[in-house]
Structure formats: C-alpha cells, structure tokens
Amino acid sequence: MSTLTARGLTLRYLIALGLVAFLSIASHFVVKDMLRVSKGSAEIINVSGRQRMLSQRIVGLALELDRGDESARASLKAAIKEFRMAHVKLLDFAKVAIDSPAAEARLRDTYFGAAGTDHAMQLYLAAADRIADSSRKTGQPQYDADLALLQASARGPLLEALEQVVTIHQSVSEERTERLVLIQRLLVAVVVITLQIEALFIFRPMVRDISGYVRQLMDLADRDYLTGLANRRAFSDKARIEILRARRHRHPLSIILVDADYFKQINDMHGHLVGDAVLVALAHSLEAGARQEDVVGRIGGEEFAVLLPETSLPQAREVAERLRRSMAGCPIQAHGKSVEVTVSIGMASVPLDAADPLTAALGTADAMLYKAKESGRNCVWPKLTRVDTESASQSGNRS
C-alpha cells in the first residue's frame, strides 16, 4: 500500500488541479489576445483599403464637380468627411504602442518623418475641402492647383504611403501572432506534462490505494472478523461452485457441521475473551486438517462448516473423528486459563440432484448435529455401519 496519506494525495491533487486551471486560463487569454491582434490588423487593413478607395472617389467627384455637375458636391463632401475620419483612426493606430520598437519607428517616420504622410494627407484634405466649397472659375490659380494636387496625390504618393502603413501593421501582426502561437504551444506542452505528472504521482498512487482498500473491503466482506474463516455468505458462494463441479463430474460431496460443546458455559465461567480464544483455536484446527480444495467457514456463533469435495460420507466421518479427537485431547490455553473443549459434529452427503443441494445438506447435517448433542456430545453423527466403514476403507483415504 502507498505511504501517502489522504491529505497528501488531496494536496497534490489540488496543486496539480490549480496549475492546470491557471494554465488553461492563461491559454484562454493568449487565444483572446491572438483574436484581438487579428481583429486589429484586419481593422487597419480595412480602414486603409477604404481610404485608398475614397481617395480615388474624391478625385472622381471633384472632376465631375469641375465639369459643372452640382449633384456631385454633396457626395464629395461626404467622401471627404469619411476620408478624414479614416485618417484620424489610422493616426490613432500609429500612436498606440505595438510592442515592436522598429515598427513603431517606421510608422512615426511614415506619418511624421521624411515621408510626411500626415502632412500630405492634411494638404490633400484641405485642397478637397476648398474644391467642395467653391465652383470652377477660369483662371483661378488656387482652384487649378488644388485639382492638380488631388489628381497627383491619388495617382502615386498617397497610395504608396497608405500601402506602407498597411505593410507595417501587417508585419507587426504576423510577429505577434507567431509569438502568441509559440506561447500557446508552450502552455499546451506544460498542460500535457502536468497531466502526465498527475497520472504518475497522483492518480496512479490514488488508484493503487483505492484498489487496495477495495480488496480489503471485499476480503472483510468475505471473512469472519474473529476467526478469519469464510463467513456464511462466502462459504455458501464457494460451496455452490463446488456443487456445480461435483454435478458435472458426478463426484461425491460431503459436509460436516462442527459445534463447540457447552460454549455458553465457557463464556459464563471464563469470560468472552476466553470464548473467543476457543473459537479461534477451533478455526485453526479446522484449517489445519483441511485440504486446499476443502471449504471451511464459520456459519454461526460457535458453529462451523466444512465442505469436502470428492469425499464420501464414510470418508467424511474419518475427517470428523480426527477433528473431534484433536479438540478433545488438547486443552486450550487462553488468558492464563486452560480450557478443555469438545465438539459435536453432524455430517451429511450433499444431494446433487436436489433443487437446492446446499440447503438440503445443511438441513440434514444440522439434524445430525442435534442428534450428536442429544447423544451426550463429543461425538459424530450419523453413526455408520460396519459395511459403510469397510466401503470407505476399500475406496481409500482422502489425499
């Protein structure tokens, strides 16, 4: 049996369970962060793509307005407003720390450094606002310059700057995703290792201990608490197995009932501890005289039964007489007292063709035991004839 106590096993189990719970929660947050990163990257790409599309739409609407289509003015103003909001959102993304110093430097340089994307956007929006708020006037230098700026920006530098922003954010997202995937794999590996450790050092000892306890309980359920012999239920189960075997092979089967004489007087005169010692001594004597295939059990207070496979009634009498003589000729020493004990024994052949052979045999043996008590005790019943005895001698002794 394991030397681990229930408290020790419980503590180990709780620690391991807590570790698995912690790792599971950590894994949940890692996955959640991965989704957040993916969502943020997708949003940036979506906003930037929308902004590139709006830059082309603004130029197209400005040209329609330049050709005199006043219906394009409202759509132009709406497109400019949406473009400005997208630019503000991208600037907010650029100002947030993204756990990559190199990428942060590239973003700042793209918007506020040599690339001057933010300044170019502001000029682009200012020109678009002026065109949306004015009308075509021949020879007006500012209007022509604004329209030329919109067309030039939409064809090259503006689109390139927006593409650069998307590329930076996408690379950062990929780096963070790879890092989070690595962390997720490490967490899964630790969980698997933790579960293996639990199986080896917690559940295996726990199962071993529980199996041992179950075996003990089953043994206790089958054993008489005082003598260690099979109790009545276990004796009956084993006896019925032997009866089936005897039926199949048509072999003789006998049973003897053994009862200590004047046992109540022993308890009254010497006390129950001495009485228990007498029962233990009787049980030991029965076991000592039994073969490996015999079934020995305590079926009552001071009553014992022995089932004798492949044993005829005359052969069973020899066993019973040997047991009776051994008990009568050897006083029991218990708690400083010497107690002389005799036994009465009843025998019966097991009727294999009966509906319930064991119950029938026990009933017959009990009746014979009662006759032995009536006949003065310290004897074996039934008394066999000389013919029975000679038949037993011819068939040979029990091996």
Amino acid, single-letter form, for residue 167: T
Q: Phi/psi class of residue 318: alpha, beta or left (left: φ > 0; alpha: ψ in -120 to 50)?
A: alpha
Q: Phi/psi class of residue 306: alpha, beta or left (left: φ > 0; alpha: ψ in -120 to 50)?
A: beta
Amino acid, single-letter form, for residue 330: C
Residues 347, 382: contact at Cβ < 8 Å?
yes
Rounded to an integer, what distance in angstroms lies between the CA atom of residue 65 and that of residue 60?
Answer: 9
Helical (H) or strand (E) element with 61: helix 6-66
Rounded to an integer, what distance in angstroms lies between the CA atom of residue 227 and that of residue 350?
Answer: 25
Residues 351, 318: contact at Cβ < 8 Å?
no
Q: Which residues form the catalytic set?
A: 302
Task: Identify which of 343, 342, 347 has the alpha carbon closest to the alpha carbon of residue 383.
Answer: 347
Residues 65, 73: contact at Cβ < 8 Å?
yes
